[in-house]
Amino acid sequence: MLAQSGMDVIFAGQPPLLLRKLSLNSSNKAERKKAVDQCKASVDQAYKLGADIMAVLSGPDPGEKKRDKETELLIDSLKQICGYAQEKGAEKMLSISLETFDRTVDKKCLIGPTMEAAQVAAAVRAEYSNFGLTIDLSHQPLLGEKVSEMIITAIDHLIHLHIGNCLIKDSAHPAYGDQHPRFGMPGSEVGVEQLRLFLEACIYSGFFKKNCPTSMPVVSFEVKPLPGEESELIIANAKRTLREAWAKM
């Protein structure tokens, strides 16, 4: 179906890591190997599906004292995964993309701040060309960064974008944290204006003119209904938000 549809395929390698609580930056050698092995298995699956990009995420932030050491371990893990993807590639090569997540609110990942993500990407790409970054609009408020600075900082390594929303003002709310509620939901962080700023930053940074692993630069929506909401309406909301934001540029 994917081959017949003519679509580019991006494989989400984050869920197995999250569900199994695996960390690519774990100081425990055996635990880190489990995470790398899981990603290698995901690489095999991604190739079977004809994917162009496979996204992963870093493990939990160990705290300031251990952060530098675990960043080195993360870089080593990513190099192993990129090398494996290169070995398995025949007609085309799968690219590995590290998605940045929050460090203090929900996922509490090592990577983390966009500047540190860019430094990791530079270290990996020094040896492996099939690597890049995925930036998510919904994580921008969670990281406390400005949209324009986030995109500009990552642009040299940016190969995939996510558009989403988050809620951080009320910890008792069912959408609190990194839950991707509908755009413009009362109390949430991302609506038409925030998406407009995000798209403008992408345009002026040159993202849509970049040579990415996919046939064209890809922007993916991440949005889901809360209890009592209907998926069809939430999808319609996302489309309308995009159209209105684009119209106001």
Taken in order 65, 68, 72, 78, the sign of the CA dihedral is: positive
Name the residue among 127, 138, 142 with its Cα closest to residue 194: 138
> Of 45, 57, 63, which Cα lies nearest the Cα of 2?
45
For the chain, strand residue ranges (E) read 10-12, 53-57, 95-99, 131-136, 158-163, 219-221
Model confidence pLDDT, tens digit, residues 179-238:
999 999 999 999 999 999 999 999 999 999 999 999 999 999 999 999 999 999 999 999
CATH number of the structural domain spanning residue 81 = 3.20.20.150
- Give residue-wise pLDDT tens across range 46-58: 999 999 999 999 9
Q: What is the dihedral of CA 234, 240, 244, 247, to 10 degrees?
A: 140
* Number of independent structural domains in the chain: 1
Percent of the chain past pLDDT 70, that is, above it, reads 100
Q: Give the bridge partners for 10, in sequence order.
A: 53
Residue ranges making up the domain that contains 137: 2-247
User: Has residue 90 got a pLDDT over 80?
Assistant: no
